[in-house]
Amino acid sequence: MNITLIGTGCGTPATLTEEGKHALERADVIFGAARVLNGLPDVCTRTSDSSRKKTVQAKPKQICDLLAGYVEEGTIENAAIALSGDSGFYSGARILKERILERFGDFCPVEIIPGISSVQMLAARLGIPWQDWNLVSAHGVDCDPVHEIMKGRATFFLTGGKYTADVICRELVEAGLGDLRVTVGENLSYLHEDKNVSTDTGHAGSILTSDPGTKIEHVDSFSASDPDTRNGHVGSILTRNGHVGSILTSDPDMKIENIVTGTASECAERSFSDLAVLLVDTKTPDGKQLIQCRRPAGMPDDVFARGKVPMTKMEVRCVILGKMAVSENDVVWDIGAGTGSVSVELAMQARQVWAVERRDEAVELIRENREKFGRWNLRIVQGEAPMDLKELPDPDAVFVGGSGGHLGEILHEVWRRNENARICISATLLETLQESLAAFAEREIEPDIVQIAFTRSEKVGGRHMMRAGNPIYVITGSYKQ
């Protein structure tokens, strides 16, 4: 038996390729989700004598067992599995192919036919290329929208489940990115606002709108305030031109394509169809760049907003960043964040950085530096450690630049949350060094200790002299089972 995995496009016959259509016509049985099967052209689901072809609604995990029955019977030659979108873009095709080959081996050859994806469709509707977009699936899976945006490219989100378009926009707003330009594409490839509504049995209604450019036909007597009109269901729509209207149709599930462009703040206040995709730009609608590109570690001290709050110097910062060795998927705590210079540089490497600081002036400086360098994956918590660490996500790495006399308690809270967390402590006082070593010894952690004593040139009277900075201890360690 030959098995073909077919990407059926965006849910309407128009987005199914000719190759996919022919494969479905050849198939003796077609498997797929109800929505996908319902969107197939009628010619694909009928046999040569016009009788109804066998279609089976099935979830991906059920398909191999269903195929096994046909393989044992040996009564069909071709089976098709209809999948939404494109078979190579966050599709079930990859896992299905692996399962089929594992179950049936070479006995059932597998062919894959691509379809038109929602990313292609949105790009075409907007008239722009998609080749440089960051492509992300938030459909039924965990997602960190801010982390994805911080990669510095326009980001396309396949939405659904927990992460609908409005939910993603709300997370962007919470991170300080409410001014970003976003575009939501709902029900792509379905009916447009300027088309009449029809069904298999003929004309069912029309779209009513205050836009004079929209066609209105066969409405007869209709009242938007009366849902029990002759033709049935009434639902409100908003056209791309901003005109409010209603749709009159006998089908309450009729889908209307709609493209909305605005800011993340504006879209966070709306609700969108389950069949929606989201494109987030790196700029505001007026062209201001909000997302900055990453920079190498060790930025000069004078590029940071400083005030009177002590700041970790560049030479020490470079050592700290090297010792912590965070990756792009790490969640990092910076406790006693001061001006946020370490937080900002960590945020250029990590997934999320949580800067914990108690002083009002320091918190304002962290905010200023976060905005200056566009590090919106840096979250600021004004409070005391360890008391205010409980609501933070579990850390992969922790930097302690200031402990307020609670170093032991802070480290115990870190180890309670993640015993394998990488910990780096900077100490100017010998007592802090001693506390660090005692806490590490209690956990049987062998510390790595570096003393940094640097001397910088300083211009005095037209000449240069060297001025020494205070020596700093950097203590690093992680628990190894």
Q: Is residue 149 part of a domain?
A: yes
One domain for residues 433 and 416: yes
For residue range 236-258, list pLDDT tens digits in order. Answer: 444 444 444 444 444 556 678 88
Separation of alpha carbons 224 and 431, rounded Å: 76
One domain for residues 309 and 455: yes
Q: Which residue pairs, CB below 8 angstroms and at least 24 apart, start in 221-230?
A: 222/248
Looking at the predicted structure, is the pLDDT value of residue 318 above 50? yes
For residue range 412-433, list pLDDT tens digits in order. Answer: 999 999 999 999 999 999 999 9
End-of-domain residue from the set 65, 100, 116: 116
Q: Which residue has the tokens 């056209």?
A: 239
One domain for residues 332 and 450: yes
Domain CATH for 159: 3.30.950.10
Domain CATH for 306: 3.40.50.150
Give the number of domains in the chain: 4
Q: Is residue 285 part of a domain?
A: no
Share of the chain above pLDDT 90, in %: 61
Looking at the predicted structure, is the pLDDT value of residue 212 above 50? no
Looking at the predicted structure, is the pLDDT value of residue 235 above 50? no
Give the mean pLDDT of the chain.
85
- Range with the lowest mean pLDDT among 8-17, 293-302, 450-459? 293-302
Q: First-to-last CA distance in the chain?
A: 51
Per-residue confidence (pLDDT) for residue 198, from 0 to 100: 39
End-of-domain residue from the set 116, 136, 162: 116
One domain for residues 408 and 334: yes
| 422 touches 324 (CB < 8 A) | yes
Report the alpha-carbon angle 222-226-232, nearest 5: 70
Per-residue confidence (pLDDT) for residue 467, from 0 to 100: 86
Q: Output DSSP code: residue 82.
A: E
Domain CATH for 78: 3.40.1010.10
The first and second tokens of residue 397, run together, are: 């790495």
For residue range 104-158, list pLDDT tens digits in order. Answer: 987 889 999 999 999 999 999 999 999 999 999 998 788 999 999 999 899 999 9
Q: How many CB atoms lie within 10 A of CB 157?
A: 28
Could you list the residue range(s) of the whole structural domain that residue 76 is in? 2-116
Q: Is residue 287 part of a domain?
A: no
The first and second tokens of residue 99, run together, are: 């399962």
One domain for residues 179 and 319: no
For residue range 323-381, list pLDDT tens digits in order. Answer: 999 999 999 999 999 999 999 999 999 999 999 999 999 999 999 999 999 999 999 99
One domain for residues 107 and 218: no
For residue range 260-313, list pLDDT tens digits in order. Answer: 999 999 999 999 887 899 999 999 998 888 887 777 788 999 999 988 898 999
Per-residue confidence (pLDDT) for residue 254, from 0 to 100: 66
Among 343, 350, 346, 348, smallest CA distance to 368 is for 343
Q: Is residue 21 part of a domain?
A: yes
One domain for residues 172 and 73: no
Q: Is residue 289 part of a domain?
A: no
One domain for residues 37 and 89: yes
In degrees and rounded to multiples of 5, residue 68 shows phi and psi of -60, -35
One domain for residues 324 and 448: yes
For residue range 46-55, list pLDDT tens digits in order. Answer: 877 777 778 8
Per-residue confidence (pLDDT) for residue 430, from 0 to 100: 93
One domain for residues 133 and 110: no
The first and second tokens of residue 105, run together, are: 């081996």
One domain for residues 82 and 106: yes
End-of-domain residue from the set 56, 85, 116: 116
Q: Is residue 274 part of a domain?
A: yes
Q: Is residue 290 part of a domain?
A: no
Per-residue confidence (pLDDT) for residue 233, from 0 to 100: 42
One domain for residues 184 and 309: no
- Range with the lowest mean pLDDT among 183-187, 188-192, 410-414? 188-192
